[in-house]
Chain A
Amino acid sequence: MTATSLHRQPLAETPFHPRTSALNRLHNWGAWAGYRTAGCYGDTVMEHTAIRNAASLYDITPMIKYRITGPDAAAYLDRLTVRNVSNLAEKAVHYTAWTDDAGQMMDDGTLFRLGPQDFRLCCQERHLPWLRDSAWGFDVVIADETESVAALALQGPTSAAVLRACGFDIDGLKPFRMAEFAFAETNLLISRTGFTGDLGYELWIPPAQALALWDHLMMQGAPFGLMPVGSDAVMLARTEAGFLTANLDFIPAQQALREDRSRSPLELGLGWMVDWNKGPFTGRRALLAERETGGRWALVGLDIPGNVSAEGAILYHRKTAEAGFITAACWSPTLKRNLALAQVQARHADCRDLWVEIYALRELQYVKLMLPVRATPRPFFAPERRRATPPPAF
């Protein structure tokens, strides 16, 4: 197998594949970063229900993971990303983003500070060339460890109970913190992080111990309703939470073909994480200029009447002039609300007199709906249990 024929090979299997494939009744697989991952094991509604009412297990091994180490690691990441990395405590995690010189989003992701000079950056897209280019002048080593770290997301209200039953004392573990546990003669890293907006954890382990971990969790988790879930259910949960996904809610600048497709973090509602005072970082000057003059777009959360999901719909001002478009939408089973994420032209950020045009499929026939939308704060779903330390028992 040569590098040039790699794309013709079947998708790679994650270390959990022997288990996930046995459980995948539908053989419903999707491609994620070169891996085969379950879209749905049997019933998305049941899987989503597990996320919100019990516990769920989702194989996140394909997430791109970079290890960044060296004396300049913190300084390097401060220059790379928009947040303040020097202030990130050891064993803590933060959600972050980075941009190109023009201040346009390249990706978002989570940054784990494993040690004073040791970080893991997790994200959706591959960035090794950019990370390496950015390293010029810094004493750091950057490695892609996507393949050498297996990972699971354990999410849902009973997730803490599952971990306790497994013998991992996570009572003191606060949101966006991590801790190490001995397991199967290796170190299991558990972080209180996730992509569902709910109480939840992510578990990181060497591939060799992946199956042992899966089995242990599934065994101990059974009484708590633990269920493996696929991407469909997780994407529904993330939309309910109001989280962004690269290539769905924004086009990474380095991939955008059309000049006007890229977006700045300010335009995506991520201005809160930009640290203007930490010193220089890539894109800062462009973002400062944008802050002065105002951006072109705004990302908004929307409430829509009815129960027809507005996926892919266009937004109109006064029902006539195009003003934006929906990037993610769902009728939320948890909240019983019809929700959407949308990009609107900056002058329509208040969403006044904005209408969404939905084509509702009703027994083979499309019906055109023109419905008024209302801006609504994000995250849409943020239960108390997500934050509570120690997490509540079920």
Chain B
Amino acid sequence: MPMPSCDVLVIGGGLNGLACATRLAQTGRKVTLVEAEPETGGATRALPDLAKGVKAPALAHLLWHLDPRVEKAMTLDRHGLAWAARDIATTVLSPLGPLTVTGAQTSGPDAMAWNRLYSRLTRMAERLEPFRRMAPPRLGGGNDWLALARHALGLRLLGAREFRDLLRLVLINAHDVATDELTDPRLRALLCFDATLGAWASPRNPNTLILWLDRLAGQVAGRKQSLSLPKGGLPALAAAMTAAARAAGVTIRTGARVARIDIAADRADGVTLQTGEMLSARIVVSAIGPKPTLLNLVGARHLDAGLVTRLRHQKARGATAKLHLALSAAPDFGTDLRARLLIAPDEQAVDLAFNPVKYGETPAAPVMELLLSSAFEPGHAPEGQHVLSANVQFAPHAPKDAFSAKTSLLAAAMAQLERAAPGIGALVTASDFLMPQDIEARFGMAGGSWHHGDLSVEQMLFLRPLPELSRYATPVAGLWLTGAGTHPGGLSGAAGWNAAEAIERAGA
């Protein structure tokens, strides 16, 4: 075997891969990161030419979480990260008129009720937050008992009543909480939408409220529950993290697609690129998702049959489609465009939009999250023009007929937009629409899933992605997992940071 060309080889230059590579380089390891695409950033990379002068992130357009450890250790501010908007408001578009919500603050008949509910849930979310910043506890032992005890105590200190309430809320569905606590259909819709954004779930599915708690556990640049937009959009965050990784000494190779993880004597010792080039390393960390890593790059032959079956059955069902529109002028939604806009009139609309997806069909009235980054700052679209990116829910990950599903969901989404902003259709100069299957094909995300695998209670914490893989290590010595498919999911960099910590602790 040739001398390893580096200590650590990271596969995938999404935000988690970048965070992981940086930390490992900062602790003195020689790290190379290989990214298949010409640009790093994964789901946050810039969308390639939608229209001249239009810049948009490929998939992820808003930031809910940015791991404070990552932010600090990568000194992202020094690498160009600045904010176009913090504490971004959400405006729910409705026949009743738009309702704007910023954190706990809103107006209308439920303003007080919303404030109380929001405060109550954020209190709980904050107790859950520390669990995001550690490897998940393990039932079989080998835990960081001290940290675990501290976080568990934090939970317990909520007091018996709130602790009981938390246990109840972990299990409950978002829809029930919305209808129990709120009367304004727009607030109900908001709660239901945010609990199922990116999930393969209706708000009436059990265990959906915890997904909202997970969102509320977020913080960005020192502010809790602060929906944020970096200057230059999410591609600028990717650029800052890439610069930070380089500054830490990470060698980044783009346009290098890994075809295989090389294994000798049951140890990962490098990768082979699609071009046939081989790169050797002492350690391989894959940030592209557990399923493609183990099932495709490692292959069944190197894994126990039971693990392969469990991985195949691990749920990875994208239910979000991505729509981009280049607009020749500002659309009229009857409200300030410097907000996250939701097309979801009430809680039932969110539920109904999910139902057909269960049967591989598309909803007639999808619910949607819209962002016009061009409304926040110049540079996203030519002067006077706009770019709209939308997360369209729900979309079947395995439609009966892929072509007709795509055309009918696109038509339905355009019809929703036209109702919300009459005349918007005529402003469209270019468009791009990705179904979950397209997302899988272009970004490598299993099933087009938001988190490289459903983030649902049965696939969370020490069950993520599978119990035997939940500590970032794999059965193949020298091969580690990170990325949104591992705990705690998402693009905050937390998964990447935790994985690097696990690698350091293992002395690898």
Distance to closest chain B CB from A267 (angstroms):
19
A137: which B residues are within 8 A, CB to CB?
Answer: 295, 299-301, 308
Identify whether the interface residues of B are mostly helix, strand, loop, or mixed: helix
Residues of B within 8 A of A134 (CB): 305, 308
Judge if B120 is at the interface, Cβ distance under 8 Å: no
- From residue B493, how far is it (CB to closest CB) to chain A in Å? 31
Query: Does any Cβ of A come within 8 Å of B364's Cβ?
Result: no
Contact with B along A261-281 (1 / 0, CB 8 A): 000000000000000000110
User: Closest residue of chain B to A286, judged by CB?
Assistant: B304
Give the chain B neighbours of A130 by CB distance below 8 A. 305
Q: Which A residues, 163 to 212, have Cβ-Cβ distances below 8 Å to chain B? A: none
The A-B contact count (CB < 8 A) is: 44
Would you give the 0/1 interface string for A73-91, flagging 1 where the beta carbon is closer than 8 Å to chain B?
A: 0010001100000000000
Measured in the bound complex, the distance between the Cα atoms of B312 and A335 in whole Å is 53
Q: Are B300 and A100 in contact (CB under 8 A)?
A: no
Which residue of B295, B301, B308, B309 contacts A75 across the interface (Cβ within 8 Å)?
B301
For B300, B302, B312, the residue with the greatest tally of chain A CB atoms inside 10 Å of its CB is B300
Interface residues of A in 117-152 (CB under 8 A from B): 130, 133-134, 136-138
Contact of A280 among B266, B306, B309, B312 (CB under 8 A): B266
For the complex, is A372 an interface residue (Cβ under 8 Å from B)? no
Beta-carbon contact of A101 and B300 below 8 Å: no
User: Of residues 460 to 476 in B, which have CB atoms within 8 Å of A's CB atoms?
Assistant: 475
Docked Cα-Cα span, A101 to B307, in Å, equals: 7
B303 on the A face (CB < 8 A)? yes
On whether the beta carbons of A101 and B301 are closer than 8 Å, the reply is no
Would you call A280 and B307 a contact (CB within 8 A)? no
Q: Which residues of the partner chain A approach B312 to less than 8 Å between Cβ atoms?
A: 136
Query: Of all chain B residues, which has the CB nearest A279?
Result: B301
Quick one: which of A100, A101, A282 has the most chain B CB within 10 A? A101
CB within 8 A of B266: which of A80, A101, A136, A285?
A285
- How far apart are the CA atoms of A282 and B302 in the complex, in Å? 9
Q: How large is the interface on B (under 10, 10 to 19, 20 to 34, 35 or more residues)?
A: 10 to 19
Q: Select from chain B the residue with minimum beta-carbon distance to A80.
A: B305
Least CB separation from B299: chain A residue = A137
Among B300, B304, B306, point to the contact of A138 (Cβ < 8 A): B300
Q: A109 interface residue, CB < 8 Å from B?
A: no
Question: Could you tell me the distance between the alpha carbons of A134 and B308 in the complex, rounded to whole angstroms?
Answer: 8
Chain B 299-331 interface 0/1 with A at a Cβ cutoff of 8 Å (1 = within): 111111111110010000000000000000000
**B308 lies within 8 A of A285 (CB):** no
Shortest beta-carbon distance from B474 to chain A in Å: 11
Is A283 part of the binding interface, using a Cβ–Cβ cutoff of 8 Å? Answer: yes
A256 to B12, CA, bound (A): 42
Shortest B310–chain A CB gap in Å is 9
A136 touches B309 (CB 8 A): yes
Q: What separation, in Å, do the CA atoms of A137 and B300 have in the docked complex?
A: 6
Asked if B304 and A136 sit within 8 Å, CB to CB, the answer is no
Contact with A along B365-387 (1 / 0, CB 8 A): 00000000000000000000000
The residue in chain A whose Cβ has the minimal distance to the Cβ of B307 is A101
Query: Within the complex, what minimum Cβ distance (angstroms) separates B98 from chain A?
Result: 51
Flag if B301 contacts A285 (CB, 8 Å): no
In Å, the complex CA distance between A101 and B302 comes to 12
In the complex, the answer to whether A136 meets B302 with C-beta atoms within 8 Å is: no
Are B306 and A79 in touch, CB under 8 angstroms?
Answer: no
For residue B307, which residues in chain A have a CB less than 8 angstroms away from its CB? Answer: 101
CA distance A283 to B306 in the complex (A): 9
- Chain A residues in 8 Å Cβ range of B301: 75, 79, 137-138, 279-280
What is the CB-to-nearest-CB distance from B469 to chain A, in angstroms, rounded to a whole number? 12
Q: Are B304 and A285 in contact (CB under 8 A)?
A: yes
Q: Are B303 and A280 in contact (CB under 8 A)?
A: yes
Interface pair B306/A101, CB less than 8 Å apart: yes
Smallest Cβ distance from B302 to chain A, in angstroms? Answer: 5
Most chain A CB inside 10 Å of its own CB: which residue of B299, B301, B303: B301
B475 touching A285, Cβ below 8 Å: yes
Chain B residue at smallest Cβ distance from A134: B305
Residues in A47-78 with C-beta less than 8 Å from chain B: 75
Q: Give min CB distance, A288 to chain B, whole Å.
A: 9
Complex Cα–Cα for A283 and B308 (A): 13
- Cα distance, A133 to B311, chains bound together (Å): 11
Q: CA–CA, A80 to B301, complex, Å?
A: 10
Question: Would you list 14 pairs from A and B whose C-beta atoms are within 8 A, ordered by A residue?
Answer: A100-B304, A101-B304, A101-B307, A133-B305, A134-B305, A136-B305, A136-B309, A136-B312, A137-B300, A138-B301, A280-B303, A282-B305, A283-B304, A285-B475
Given A80-B305, A137-B308: 9 more A-B contacts, CB < 8 Å: A79-B301, A101-B306, A136-B309, A137-B300, A279-B301, A280-B302, A280-B303, A282-B305, A285-B304
List the interface of chain A (C-beta within 8 A of B): 75, 79-80, 100-101, 130, 133-134, 136-138, 279-280, 282-285
By Cβ-Cβ distance, the 8 closest A-B pairs, closest first, are: A137-B300, A101-B304, A134-B305, A101-B306, A282-B304, A133-B309, A282-B305, A280-B302
